[in-house]
Structures are given as C-alpha cells and as structure tokens.
Structure 1
Amino acid sequence: MVQGAKNYKNSDGYKPTTIPKALKVIKGHKEGITMESLNNQNRTMNTQAGSRLEKRIGSIFIHVSDMKSAVEWYSRVFDLPYNDDYMNGRLSTVYTLHFEGTEILLDSNHGAAPAPQPMMFFKTDDIRHTLQFLKDTGIVIHNEVLENNIVIFEDPDGNRLMAIQM
C-alpha cells in the first residue's frame, strides 16, 4: 500500500484501498490506474472491434396470413388487450404484442411458411393448467410431454409454439 494511506479513513469510516505499484504501469499509466479506467478501456476496445450487437432480443416476428384472426388468437391466449384499429385493417401490416422483455410482432406481409419446429417457448408455472386451457380453447396441440413439462401447440397459421414449466 501507499505510505500514509493505510491509516487514512474518510468521515464515514470507509478505508480506501490502492492498486499495487506493479499494476500502475499497465497500459502506460504511470500515475496509477483504476478499475473503472480498465473497464472503460476494455469496453471501448470490444465495441470498436465487435459487431456492436446487444445481447438481447429486440423483437420476434411471427408471420400471419390473417391479421384479425392472429390478433384475436394471441390476445386471447396471452390475455392481452388489443387495438380495434388493427382489427379493421386501418393501421400497419405489423401488430405489436407487448411481453415482458421482448416484443412479438405479428407480420401480415406474407411469404413465410410455418416452421415444423417451435419458434420459441413461453414459461408457465403450471403446465397441466396451461394444457387444459389450450385444449378448452380449441388450440391444436402437437405434443404433450408432461413428464418434461413441455406442451407444443400452434397458432392459426400453423406456427408452432411451446409452453414449458420451469
């Protein structure tokens, strides 16, 4: 430690620590470095060299053939309110479903065929209750693997989705 620093305490009792002298010459810093300056330098190097893509999903597109039917279905399954202007075709060809963390965009710009495998999964705290709800609502079920807490189902366009109890 730097001499004199070991006995220093500020008014709230915090005793600062210092970086050993050997680290002070890293990256050409003669006066000393801080963890903040090292982190900032690493961040700058990574963003300049990397893709600058964030490690989170902004939105997920689900292609639909009938916007009205898709909005009604997704709103009913996920208990979401919906905007009547979309139902009457007065707005965009994309409808936003607001979920925690990520948006799902229903896209009626046609052209994409449904995938044979689930595109994503949704968490549930009770897979049996979710399965019963899906059956009662008349939703097509493709696979019930209750011992693994998984149910695969499809939307009106045949897009496969999955529910998993975690």
Structure 2
Amino acid sequence: MSSKLNDPSVGQSPLKNKIGSVFLPVRDIGQAREWYSRILGFNPADAEIIAGHLCPLPMEGTGLILDTMPMWGGAEEGGAPSISTPAFMFLTDDLEASYKFMQENDVTLVTEIMYEQWFVIQDPDGNKLMVAKE
C-alpha cells in the first residue's frame, strides 16, 4: 500500500508538520495555573494569564495553554468538557520518582505505573494526563 504523503502527484500542503501548542480545558484559570506550576516546577508568575482565560505555560518543546475556552463550552454551566483520554504526555527521566511526587502532592492517580513505561494522572478539572519515561 503506497502512502499519499510520499506521492509526488499530491500537492504540497501549506501546513507545517509541527504542533505549535496544545490547549487544555480548565474551569478556573488561576487555580489551574497554580496546580500546573506545582506539578511542573515553575513559578506561577512566569505564566501570564491573558484576556482572563488563556495561560501559556513555560514549557520546553510543544507549548501547553490552559484555557477556560469561553467559545467552546467554557461559558456554559460546568465549563468546557474535560479530556477523558490522555491526548499528550509529560516526559520524565525517573518514572518512579515522578509517581511518588504525584502521591506526595495529592494528585489523583488514575493508573499505577504500567509496563514500567507510563502512568496516568488527573488534574482538578478532570483532564487525564499521561506521564511517560523518556
């Protein structure tokens, strides 16, 4: 089976083969910024809240933006829907230490360490997030 990505008869896409940022739905932007700063180890003051609903986090590589998503259900009762299946992963060099850190910080653990490779946590907004060995 041939891939259309390598087919010279298919025109070039103007899109880059690169993810700029991932948006994460949250209900309270200030509380979410505090929680993520604690688990990722940055100063909350280094993550500016923009327009009352966006908060780009200081990340290496692909960006992560907390967003109350007023245009996508955030203005409705209950807010925008949480991500119920991990859509991205945080990387770690020490999976066991990361798991213990989450336990010590009262982070909701969805799974135990699986296959010695990853585990899943849940943020206060119900988003499921994977932590994986790099």
Compute the displacement of 1:127 (Å).
0.6
Partner residue, 1:64: 26
Partner residue, 2:117: 149
RMSD across aligned C-alpha pairs, in angstroms?
2.3
Segments of structure 1 that go 5 or more residues without pairing to the other structure are: 1-45
Give 1 or 2: higher helix fraction.
1
Partner residue, 1:53: 15
Segments of structure 2 that go 5 or more residues without pairing to the other structure are: 1-7
Is the 8 Å Cα contact of residues 107 and 123 (structure 2) preserved in structure 1?
A: yes
The one of the two structures with greater contact order (alpha-carbon pairs below 8 A, sep at least 6) is 2
Structure 2 counterparts to residues 87-166 of structure 1, below 5 A? 91-109=51-69, 110=74, 111-166=79-134
Structure 2 counterparts to residues 20-59 of structure 1, below 5 A? 49-59=11-21
Q: Kindly name which structure, 1 or 2, has the bigger radius of gyration based on alpha carbons.
A: 1
Q: How many equivalent residue pairs?
A: 118
| Superposition TM-score, scaled by structure 1 size | 0.64
Secondary structure, in 3 states, of the residue corresponding to 2:110?
A: strand
Measure, in 2, the Cα distance between the counterparts of 1:158 and 1:133: 19
Secondary structure, in 3 states, of the residue corresponding to 2:111?
A: strand
